[in-house]
Amino acid sequence: MLHLVSILIAMVVAQDGQPPKGSTDTLVKDVEIGHGASDTIPPEATAIDVAPGTGKGITVQPIAPFSCRLHQRKGAARRIGNGLRNLVDAGGSANKALPRVQAFSTPSEDALFHTDWMWPLNQAASGARALIKDTVDVSFIPAAAMTWQHATKSRPGTPHGKGLVWYGADGKLPLWSNDQGDAKIIYNLQGNAGVGSPFQPIMGQNVGNPLANNNIIISSNFGVYMLYWQQSLLDHRMRVRVGKIEPQVFFDRNAIAYDPIGGFLAQNFNQSASIPFPSYGFAGVLSWDFHSNLTIRGGCFNASTTGVTAGFDNYEAGHLFNILELDNRTWLPVGEWAREGHQRIIAWHKGIDDWQTGQGNTSGWGVEINLDQSISDNMALFFRAGYGDQRVAPANVAISTGFAIHEILPKTDMGLAIGWSKVTRYGRFASGVNAPEGEQLLLEWYARVHVTPTVHSGPVVQVVRDPSAGIDTSVIYGIRSTWTF
């Protein structure tokens, strides 16, 4: 179903399962272990040359409350990310656990209420984590989220309201480590349950969207969604992963448009609708850091897996999803600081069963650019534009852009995004929507309130316009709440 393009615990996790405090000492220590654009934390304040005669340099802020860093510490109460996107160690250098999403740097005291409502669950989780760690040296990091949505208009015969609970855990088993590299096994467990309404159909199908309007959801089956070997080599500059993997953990990431737990809820803003990412399946991923600001990633995935098996189902030479990404990090002078930004160029090719004739295979390719840029301590922007072959892609063309702001109101983060896509016949077919191809417009606004150190909650409002699917305008309003344990 969905590659949730979203992620379980976007938080930095210490060996005992507790997040580091985000101090400068932690920052320096992280820098010493790993390299690569999007795969490490950049060094402390670094002078940048400016035009002669300006009289002062521009410096990189050492601990930015809101920088465009995919791997920045988040403070004691960090934003959770869904296990499909924020798996421990998945995007960072091989010997540390770092988040792969925009960091809002929310310390534990930065909340409306300091009483920990989840104290019993937190204590139980801490006990389980310690027991597992002491017994088999495996980390265990659970989290949960609840979402409720209501659409003012949906397709005939589909429900207007959806309530869902997501729960999961992830962790790692360290095998060995030295100065040259290390090895470990990464796992991810997840499940979903309907609340007040059946799990199916999902909200995206109800309004004709080939992707998910609630990208936290996965299959209702609880199980092992990712399990893979990860090894770093050559002073940690090369990282190899082999096993059952979700491709969005490594590809098409973005600083603010990537994580449905703490950012934009719709899958259309967590990834490009022009890229037909497969579900969890057998794969191999290779990352190489040319230098601290340039990384290349390549992956080969089973294109036809259902996501709820071991990942080898329908695996054959004609059913592969191959992707290559070049990730460049730059520093834009804004005022007295150099702000971090990323430019990603992505190319892919996918082969699947020929869904139009039922005979043989069909294939197609596509390209995308993915940009994010921090412009202040509190604000960052994103932009995506992609093309995909209509035989295999949900959208032939997809464009999205928006921004996120940290604490525009006290203890509150917000984001606003808009996207346009040209939905293909394949996109309708693959999502089970009986409608012709057509243009779709999607708008989303969210607010995320730091209620307590471990509970974040807030409204999410989406507007969908897809006349070809029978949706002239539908307003989807709801609420999202997340818990860390």
Q: Give the pLDDT of residue 45.
A: 32
pLDDT tens figures, 161-195? 889 999 888 889 999 888 888 899 999 999 888 88
Residues 61 and 75: their CA atoms lie apart, in Å, by 17
The more confident residue out of 218 and 8 is 218
pLDDT tens figures, 103-124? 333 333 577 766 666 667 767 7
Cβ atoms of 91 and 98 within 8 Å: the answer is yes
Burial class (CB within 10 angstroms; exposed 0-12, middle 13-18, buried 19+) of 16: exposed
Read off the pLDDT of each residue in 361-370 and give the average, rounded to a whole number: 95
**What are the DSSP calls for 61-83, one per residue?**
-SS-TT-S-TT----SSPPP-BT
Is pLDDT at 395 greater than 90 in this prediction?
yes
Q: Which of 262, 473, 256 is nearest to 372 (CA)?
A: 256
Q: Where are the domains of the chain?
A: 24-484
Is pLDDT at 31 greater than 70 in this prediction?
no
- Give CATH for domain 24-484: 2.40.160.180
Cβ atoms of 69 and 103 within 8 Å: the answer is yes
Per the structure block, which two tokens stand in for 415? 């984001």
Cβ atoms of 30 and 44 within 8 Å: the answer is no
Q: Which residues pair with 379 in a beta bridge?
A: 405
- Based on its alpha-carbon atoms, the radius of gyration of the chain, rounded to whole angstroms, reads 21
Q: Which residues pair with 332 in a beta bridge?
A: 339
Cα 244 to Cα 74, 275, 298, 300: the distances in Å are 28, 20, 16, 11
pLDDT tens figures, 47-100? 333 333 323 333 333 333 333 332 222 222 222 333 333 334 443 322 222 222
Q: Give the pLDDT of residue 119.
A: 67
Strands (E), 354-432: 361-374, 379-388, 395-409, 412-423
Residues 346 and 251: their CA atoms lie apart, in Å, by 8
